[in-house]
Each structure stands twice: as structure tokens, then as C-alpha cells.
Amino acid sequence: MAGGGAGVADLCGPRLLNQAVRLSPSDLKAALGREARALGFDAIGFTTPDATSEAGRYFLEFLGSGGHGDMDWLATNPERRADPRALWGGVRSIIMLGVNYGPDDNPLDILARRSHGAISVYAQGDDYHDVIKKRLKILARWLNAATGDEVKVFVDTAAVMEKPLAQAAGIGWQGKHTNLVSREFGSWLFLGAIYSATELPCDDGEADHCGSCNACQDICPTAAFPAPYKLDARRCISYLTIENKGPIPHEFRKAIGNRIYGCDDCLAVCPWNKFAEAGREQKLAARDALRAPALAELARLDDPAFRTLFTKSPVKRIGRDRFIRNVLIAIGNSGDANLAGEAQRLLDDASPLVRGAAVWALSQLMPRDAFATLASRSGGEPDLSVQQEWRAAAS
Ligand code: B12
Ligand code: SF4
Ligand code: SF4
């Protein structure tokens, strides 16, 4: 769940002074907390723009190691992400907000149903960017009206290090899986931020409560953690199935299993989830059609059907071809020979990305000699990358 470095929503409007302007900073803070909860936010914390300098250093190290892969937008203007004051010189307080999206079932259960696709919890409902941004804007307008000071809102896509800021604001801590863990909500908080030109009293940061636990490191199917608290995004299934635009590297295909959009393993195994409850926001709740969709049905989606199924869903962002690529990797891993026909049909798809993944899926499902016969008839393939898939699969 990542996004390009999108623009900043500047909500500075006319100076609307209401009675809240007379509130002391601590009363203003308390009133903001009440407004936030009424708007559906489950966690709120306050910090200052200079609170995350160490995280900024780690971030630059991460870029230096190439851990961001093809997410070039993450490396654009890195100083802005590393230091909130470089993004906006006028920021004096940062309000971090969290929305609980806790699942109502165990996200690991679907992994055993190999003829079905696993869509990560965050993407089974409406797109959180849209849901949360609307609310952040309302809250920011309230603050602007109360103080007359400028405010800016961010969720995910801007150059903001949301996790370290949320830790500094006391909402939780960055666990060894690098996500923010909350004592109350476990791994399941979406984050958003309001930068404000008003000085507000800040909260104490949260301490690390991972202790000797290593569950998230041990469960990762692709060994994406070179060390605790460090992720090599290029190995992470979330990156491979969502951000990666080309063919999925061969070394990860089997480990991906039936995960067709994102991955929740390291989040789901965290022992702090024992205190988590299902999220209360209906728009973010899992749609029945996306809990355990049959791979056979997904493989038949053309572009209009894909758009219809994933209306308002974050899955829509990757487009039909990349999604079908993921479905074909899952089909190849399904062990279900009945799905071979779906892959065979997609050998004639217009997209080389899809055709290449179909070749691999068939190589996993068909008896060797039958696949060799099919490969010997593949001479007319015009695309170089698909030709390579045939060669790799036949060898
Ligand atoms: C880029 C990105 C990704 C990338 C890279 C992930 C990553 N860990 O960086 C990919 C595509 C892989 C991804 C995947 C996911 N993402 Co994402 N992603 C982002 C994004 C846009 C930027 C994160 C970032 O700055 N990464 C760069 C790295 C360097 O930063 P970092 O992870 O904070 O790294 C820190 C640690 O490594 C630490 N560190 C390094 N060395 C050391 C050493 C020690 C000793 C210590 C203590 C710390 C430490 O310091 C670094 C700086 O704080 C944020 C939104 C945002 N604007 O912040 C969402 C965000 C992090 N993603 C989110 C989610 C939900 C996910 C997924 C769970 C989605 C899914 N189910 O598939 C997965 C989780 C994978 C994982 N284990 O992290 C949520 C996380 C919410 C939360 N509670 O934390 C965010 C905050 C979006 C949001 N607004 O809610 N994501
Ligand atoms: S999301 Fe999945 S692949 Fe990525 S680090 Fe966590 S367990 Fe590993
Ligand atoms: S699984 Fe364990 S090590 Fe990983 S974030 Fe949770 S408590 Fe920390």
C-alpha cells in the first residue's frame, strides 16, 4: 500500500473564527480529539515536526540500499519525507490519526484454500485513501476555523513518514515488521496526518514492545526482512503484487502462493492483535465477493468486468493486466489441474504480461510431456519476454 508522491491538499481558507479560538491549547487539543472520534478516527496523537530525525536517517539509508525497488516516487525529494519542515516550512504541530480496520476473521485461513485468491485485508473494502482523506479534510477545516491557521492533510501518498510520526505521537510503535503496532488495535491501523501551523501540546512517544518476539520475521514467505525493523521491499509480496509492474521474478512465484493482492502474514501473526477488534467503519469492511474469490472466476475478468468488481476498491489501481498476472501465479500454485484451462485460454490474451504468467501457470499444472508438446507449438509468440517465459518453463 503505497502510492505516488501526490500533491498536498491545502485547506487554508478564510479566517473563520468561532468560539474555539478562545480555547487554551490543551482545551483545543481535547476538542480536536472529540471531533476526531466523532468523525470515525480510532486513534489520535500529537507531535512536533522535529520528532523523527533518526527515522529520517534510516530512510535515507533504506534508499541508499535500493530497498525501494522501482518505487521511484519514494526517492523523489527524499529530504521532504525525512523532515516534515522540508515539505512545509510552516508546520508547527503534527496530528497523527488512525482508523482501525481490524478483520473479522483470521486473514491466514484463506491461504490454505488454494483455488481461491487471498486479497489483503486492507483491500477487501472501499479504498481507505478516499474514506480517510474526506474525514481528515473535515477535521482540518474544523481546526482551521478554530484557529485561523493553515493546515494540510495527508494520507499515504505524500512525502510523509507516517509510521515514525505516529510513534512519536504515541499511537503505537514501529514493530520489527516495520509497521505501526498499537497496544489497542494491533497491526490494523490505517494512518493519516494533519500538519498544522498552530502550536499544540504534544504527546509522549510510544516505546517498543516487541521484546524477544520474532513471529513476523519468521513467518515471512519471501524472507523480506534483512534484519528486524528493516524491510527489503523488493522481496515483499505486497510490493511484488501491487507496485511491481513487470513479470514477477521467478524466485518469488512459488512463495506467493494464492496471495493475489498484498500480503498480511507479518501483520496477522503479531501477538498484539489479541487486543484488536473488528473495525467499526462499514466502508472499510470486507465485501463478501472479495473475501475468498474463486481463481477460475477472476481469471475470466476482462477490463470492464474488472473495473466493475473493484469499483471503489484499491485493487482497481493496478489495472486488469497486472491483476490477472497475479491470479495466474496463484493458479500455478493451486495444484488444481481444473484451472489449467483458464491459464491455457489466457495464452492468447492481448497483454504479454498476462501471456507470460499463463505460460508459467501451465508449466506448474500440466504433466511435463503435455507441457513440452504445448511449448513446441509456441513459435508464433511475438513478445520477447513471453518467449523467455516459454524457454525458462521448458528447460
Ligand atoms: C512505501 C510503502 C510501502 C512499501 C514499502 C513498505 C515499508 N515498510 O517501507 C510496500 C509496497 C512494500 C508496502 C507494503 C505494505 N504497506 Co505500505 N506504505 C508505504 C508508504 C507509502 C511509505 C513507507 C515508507 O516511508 N517506507 C520507507 C521505509 C524506510 O520506511 P519505514 O518502513 O518507516 O522504515 C523504518 C524502519 O525501517 C526503521 N528502521 C530502520 N533501521 C532500523 C533499525 C532499528 C534498530 C530500528 C529501531 C528501526 C529501524 O526506520 C525506518 C524509518 O522509520 C506508507 C505511507 C506513508 N506515507 O508513510 C505506507 C504504509 C506504511 N503502508 C501500510 C500498509 C498497511 C502496508 C501493508 C500492510 C499492505 C498489505 N497488506 O499488503 C504492507 C506491509 C508490508 C510491510 N511489512 O511493511 C500502512 C501501514 C499502517 C501501519 N499500521 O503501520 C501505511 C502507513 C499506509 C497508511 N497510510 O496507512 N508499503
Ligand atoms: S507483507 Fe508478507 S511478504 Fe511482505 S514482509 Fe510481511 S510477510 Fe513478508
Ligand atoms: S510479531 Fe512480534 S516482533 Fe513482529 S511486530 Fe509483532 S510483537 Fe513485534
What pLDDT is recorded for position 302? 97
Mention the CATH class of domain 10-104+125-196: alpha beta
What is the set of active-site residues?
156
CA atoms within 13 A on the CB side of 133: 17
Closest CA to 341 of 362, 322, 360: 362
* Strand-pair category, 118-119 with 259-261: parallel
Distance CA 2, CA 157 (A): 7
pTM of the model: 0.94
Distance CA 73, CA 63 (A): 11
CB of 260 within 6 A of ligand 3: the answer is: no
As a whole number of Å, the end-to-end CA separation of the chain is 36
Q: What is the pLDDT of residues 317-373, one digit of tens each?
A: 999 999 999 999 999 999 999 999 999 999 999 999 999 999 999 999 999 999 998
- Residue ranges for the chain with pLDDT beneath 70: 1-22
Q: What is the pLDDT of residues 95-120, one digit of tens each?
A: 999 999 999 999 999 999 999 999 99
What pLDDT is recorded for position 6? 33
> Residue 6 forms beta bridges with which residues?
none
What pLDDT is recorded for position 340? 96
Distance CA 215, CA 354 (A): 35
Distance CA 207, CA 290 (A): 36
Q: Residue 182, SS3?
A: strand
What pLDDT is recorded for position 25? 87
- Number of the ligand closest to the Cα of 58: 1
CB of 266 within 6 A of ligand 1: the answer is: yes
Distance CA 178, CA 216 (A): 10
Pocket of ligand 2, candidates 220, 244, 248, 326: which has the most ligand atoms within 8 Å of its Cβ, to mutate?
A: 220
* Strand-pair category, 151-154 with 9-10: antiparallel
Q: Closest Cα to atom 28, ligand 1: which residue?
A: 59
Annotated domain spans of the chain: 10-104+125-196, 215-394
Distances (CA, A) of 302 to 26, 310, 324: 55, 12, 9
Q: Closest Cα to atom 5, ligand 3: which residue?
A: 175
Q: Closest Cα to atom 8, ligand 3: which residue?
A: 210
Distance CA 347, CA 378 (A): 10
